[in-house]
Amino acid sequence: MENCLEYHRATAHTFESVRRPHYLDWSNYPSPYKFYPGVRKFKLLPFSGLTQETLDTLYRLCGEGVTENLSLQELSNLAFAMNGITKVENFHGEEFGFRTTPSAGALYPFELYLFVRDVPEIPDGIYHYQPYDHSLELLSEGNYFESLQTALCSTVDTNVVAVITAIYSRSAWKYRTRAYRYCLLDAGHMAGNGVAYLRSVGLDATAVSLFQDGLLNSLIGVDGREEFALCALLPQRPALYWGEEFKLPEAFPASLPVVKKPVVYPEIEEVHSLGNLESCEFYRSIPASPEYFPETSSLELGKTLLKRRSRREFTGKPITFDQFRFLVESSLLCFPSDWGFPLTNFYLQVKNVEGLSDGIYTVVEGQLALVSPGDYSREMAYLCLGQGFVAFANVNVVFTYSFEDSGCRRYRGAVMEAGALGENLYLSAESMGLGACGIGAFYDFDLQSFLSLKEEELPLYVVSTGSL
């Protein structure tokens, strides 16, 4: 494999590819939890106190915050907002926990690690967040922030840093080679929830996608192949740091395998490694905040996070122009990250929005532009592999990416951006009493030609939103 355009093309769904027989091996169903038997555990505090309004928080994601240490309550809230369990269902006689963050096929390939210092109730150390019982598992005691700065190529001035990884075999169990896309989208969703939480309590927040992979992976005890770091969440703006000092824990505790029989997809390991960085020779650009914040009224962020689900029961009833405007503006206009926002373009297939003609829209220099008038709801549902509820959405957002630079680190950023903005759409919709659902399953090339995209511009993700 030469580059990420090749990977993306090779993992496209076509009419023929989705009809080839593929059986799910239920005897090898992946565990959604990573267990470290015998490690010291610290129970976190229950999720509470997030009273900031959701829409206002989303509009201000790129705004200025403060850089301050997090309390144990804030650390607990951050972990829960990113990966807590918000619904338990019985699944073949076993309890199954659905999370704050959505995930393709509910396979939850992501894991969350936390670097902590100066939180009085718990020792300094490197921790793994265990969603199963909302606790922190101590992987190595000590202050590793000097090494973390070297790995992240950034100064760290606060006491908590979160790192999101993916164990790709969970997602590949169902989605095979296409799973790398879902690992990135899911990680973007998780970063979206973390950023929203930090901004809601007035802290600065940046999703950091540029770091030295080998160093960061070794610092959390993962091999960079089966499990790899995708994004770090800093409660501050990153300032470039060229450090030499790097100290590793002597040993990491062993974890249980997440699948009984190993699943290896060389294409995924290769495409990921093509994007790896081994130095701090890169340029970080953090987007500036939009200056316009309208008066909004929506659910508190804490309640939105607890209530968020993937909604597939849209009624098709009209939404108001203000609902449409708040949805689009609060979700899509900015995300505090270092990957070079905006990397994605988006197209909106609109139906039944008061004061707006049905049709396909895009945004040109901050203005909505009608590309093609008409009702395209049935075409969109067909393009999303015939998922019928898509036809009842008021707004289907298609995220696309121009592969002019087919470098794999930029691709990682673009797909995570689509996931992060997708999470904004979920939170924004849910906070206004509307619903959203991520759609990773679509006919890539048919959607590309439906939108009349150039040859090197391809869809990454679709998110459906609508009235309930």
Question: Is residue 380 within the footprint of ligand FMN (CB under 6 A)?
Answer: no
Of the pair 186, 329, the CB lying nearest ligand FMN is at 186
Question: Is residue 302 within the footprint of ligand FMN (CB under 6 A)?
Answer: no
List of residues 6+ apart from 274 with CB closer than 8 A: 1, 3, 4, 408
Question: Is residue 441 within the footprint of ligand FMN (CB under 6 A)?
Answer: yes
Please state, in angstroms and rounded to a whole number, the distance separating the CA atoms of residues 431 and 428: 5
Question: Is residue 439 within the footprint of ligand FMN (CB under 6 A)?
Answer: yes
Do 239 and 154 contact (CB within 8 A), yes or no? yes
Of the pair 106, 286, the CB lying nearest ligand FMN is at 106
Question: Is residue 444 within the footprint of ligand FMN (CB under 6 A)?
Answer: no
Of the pair 173, 182, the CB lying nearest ligand FMN is at 182
Largest CA distance in the chain: 63
Question: Is residue 106 within the footprint of ligand FMN (CB under 6 A)?
Answer: yes
Least CB distance to ligand FMN at residue 207 (A): 16
Closest C-alpha to 159, from 124, 130, 189: 124
Question: Is residue 185 within the footprint of ligand FMN (CB under 6 A)?
Answer: yes
What are the backbone dihedrals phi and psi of residue 159, each rounded to the nearest 5 degrees, phi first?
A: -105, 0
CA atoms within 13 A on the CB side of 60: 21
Question: Is residue 277 within the footprint of ligand FMN (CB under 6 A)?
Answer: no
Question: Is residue 421 within the footprint of ligand FMN (CB under 6 A)?
Answer: no
Question: Is residue 312 within the footprint of ligand FMN (CB under 6 A)?
Answer: yes
Residue from 71, 143, 155, 310 in contact with ligand FMN (CB under 6 A): 310
Question: Of the listed pieces 100-108, 145-153, 219-227, 337-345, which binds ligand FMN according to CB under 6 A?
Answer: 100-108
Question: Of the listed pieces 141-149, 172-180, 355-363, 439-447, which binds ligand FMN according to CB under 6 A?
Answer: 439-447
Question: Is residue 65 within the footprint of ligand FMN (CB under 6 A)?
Answer: no
Closest C-alpha to 220, from 209, 208, 210, 232: 232
Question: Is residue 440 within the footprint of ligand FMN (CB under 6 A)?
Answer: yes
Question: Is residue 414 within the footprint of ligand FMN (CB under 6 A)?
Answer: no
Least CB distance to ligand FMN at residue 385 (A): 7
Question: Is residue 85 within the footprint of ligand FMN (CB under 6 A)?
Answer: no
Structure tokens at 234: 């800093």
Q: Rg of the Cα trace of the chain?
A: 21
Question: Of the listed pieces 282-290, 323-331, 368-376, 437-445, which binds ligand FMN according to CB under 6 A?
Answer: 437-445
Least CB distance to ligand FMN at residue 178 (A): 11
Please state, in angstroms and rounded to a whole number, the distance separating the CA atoms of residues 66 and 178: 39
Residue from 62, 82, 138, 437 in contact with ligand FMN (CB under 6 A): 437
List of residues 6+ apart from 322 with CB closer than 8 A: none
Please state, in angstroms and rounded to a whole number, the distance separating the CA atoms of residues 188 and 421: 8
Least CB distance to ligand FMN at residue 186 (A): 5
For the segment 187-216, give every residue that binds ligand FMN (CB under 6 A).
189
Please state, in angstroms and rounded to a whole number, the distance separating the CA atoms of residues 379 and 377: 5
Q: How many residues bind ligand FMN (CB under 6 A)?
A: 19
Do 440 and 104 contact (CB within 8 A), yes or no? yes
Question: Is residue 309 within the footprint of ligand FMN (CB under 6 A)?
Answer: yes
Structure tokens at 90: 């019985």
Please state, in angstroms and rounded to a whole number, the distance separating the CA atoms of residues 301 and 240: 32
Residue with tokens 């909505």: 368
Of the pair 151, 299, the CB lying nearest ligand FMN is at 299
Least CB distance to ligand FMN at residue 384 (A): 7
Question: Is residue 70 within the footprint of ligand FMN (CB under 6 A)?
Answer: no
Structure tokens at 45: 């505090």
Q: Binding pattern to ligand FMN, positions 383-402, x when CB under 6 A?
A: ----x---------------
Coil/strand/helix, residue 183: helix
Do 344 and 460 contact (CB within 8 A), yes or no? yes
134: alpha, beta or left? (left if phi > 0; alpha if psi -120 to 50): left
Dihedral sign from CA coordinates of 12, 460, 209, 174: negative
Least CB distance to ligand FMN at residue 191 (A): 12
Do 107 and 172 contact (CB within 8 A), yes or no? no
Least CB distance to ligand FMN at residue 439 (A): 4
Residues engaged in binding ligand FMN (CB under 6 A)? 98, 102-106, 182, 185-186, 189, 309-310, 312, 387, 437-441
